Amino acid sequence: MVVLSKPSPLDDHYASIKTCKPRISVFKGIPSINLRDPKAKTLIIQACQEFGFFKLLNHGVPMETIARLEAEALSFFNLPRSVKDKAGPPNPFGYGTKGIGPNGDVGWIEYLLINTDQNPEISRSAVKDYVMEVKAVAYEVVELMAEGLGIERRDVWSKMLREEESDWCLRLNHYPISQDLQALSGRKMIGFGEHTDPQIISLLKSNNTSGLQICLKDGTWVSVPPDHTSFFVTVGDALQVMTNGRLKSVRHRVMTNSLKPRISMIYFGGPPLSETIRPLPSLMAKGEESLYNEFTWREYKASAYKSRLGDYRLGLFEKA
């Protein structure tokens, strides 16, 4: 006899969520980069060319700031569903459960999308302090990227992220355990389906629960060992375009865990909506042509919100 565990707020949705064979290896090769290493800029470029992804150590964000926001997120997700629903639907900001984006994608997840410290759900100061710290790390990382690529203006990307109108958001995710369904199917559930992040850069912080997977260049999916003391840095589509494909936006996804809930907090750093996204002229070799037709960040976002999560969004902007 199969005994189902206590119903979770997401139970009514399980039937429509995809599952995946659990035979995915834990990958030991994720580059780990110390932000204070004098070689950091070179290591970051190598990591972003090969994986579009790396682990950042010694980032300097106080653990108390991280723990405080994580505790706030947990208390929010522990509220009764009827209370959380008042903070939704996420169009595009607010509380969401199961549904991701406006075009029918689903995952074993509940989340809160925030882009101001004025949100009523989570302590203002916890969000403000966290965002301030994580943005400072993002600025530093993109400056190291610019230096590593030999770009004269090291602030070329940090300037975009720093602007008052920069288009950033913070995502708090809760992936509940999925024991009952795994017992039934013997398979892991998709928490958040495969996709690339549209922005310039994303900084992800999670608790010590596994689930994040990235797709390597050869198409293999590998599990990223969790590390709650570090950030994971992801190259977004806009950075891929601005480097004319030198840095790769990485496809990634999250599978649920049968033993522990996963909590993640991700800062997505985008440029102002009016920014034109095109390869930096100073990066282009003699005679090198842009791989993409230029577009504004506003246009790319609009197109992203018309797409399904797993779509190859840059395809629409590639030159024929």
262 has catalytic annotation: yes
91 binds ligand GA4 (CB under 6 A): no
Distance between CA atoms of residues 170 and 304, nearest Å:
17
Instruction: Collapse the DSSP code of 141 into the 3-class scheme (helix H, G, I; strand E, B; otherwise coil) and give the result.
Output: helix
Find the part of the chain contacting ligand GA4 (CB under 6 A) among 118-126, 148-156, 225-233, 304-312. Answer: 304-312
* # residues contacting ligand GA4 (CB under 6 A): 16
Instruction: Name the catalytic one among 171, 251, 253, 262.
Output: 262
Instruction: Collapse the DSSP code of 228 into the 3-class scheme (helix H, G, I; strand E, B; otherwise coil) and give the result.
Output: coil
Distance between CA atoms of residues 90 and 133, nearest Å:
25
Distance of CA 116 to the CA centre of its chain: 18
Contacts of ligand GA4 in 189-248 (CB under 6 A): 195, 197-198
Q: What share of the chain is helix, strand, coil (3-state, %, to 5)?
A: 30, 25, 45
309 binds ligand GA4 (CB under 6 A): yes
Q: How far is the CB of 111 from ligand GA4 (least distance, A)?
A: 8
Inter-CA distances, 143 with 44, 93, 153, Å: 11, 29, 9
Residue with smallest beta-carbon separation from ligand GA4:
101
Contacts of ligand GA4 in 106-125 (CB under 6 A): 113
Q: Which of 196, 200, 195 is nearest to 275 (CA)?
A: 200
Distance between CA atoms of residues 289 and 268, nearest Å:
28
Find the part of the chain contacting ligand GA4 (CB under 6 A) among 34-42, 45-53, 281-289, 301-309. Answer: 301-309
262 binds ligand GA4 (CB under 6 A): no
Out of 41, 59, 171, 188, the only residue in the binding site for ligand GA4 (CB under 6 A) is 171
Can you give the binding site for ligand GA4, defined by CB under 6 A?
A: 92, 100-101, 103, 105, 113, 169, 171, 195, 197-198, 268, 304-305, 307, 309
Residues annotated catalytic, as ranges: 262
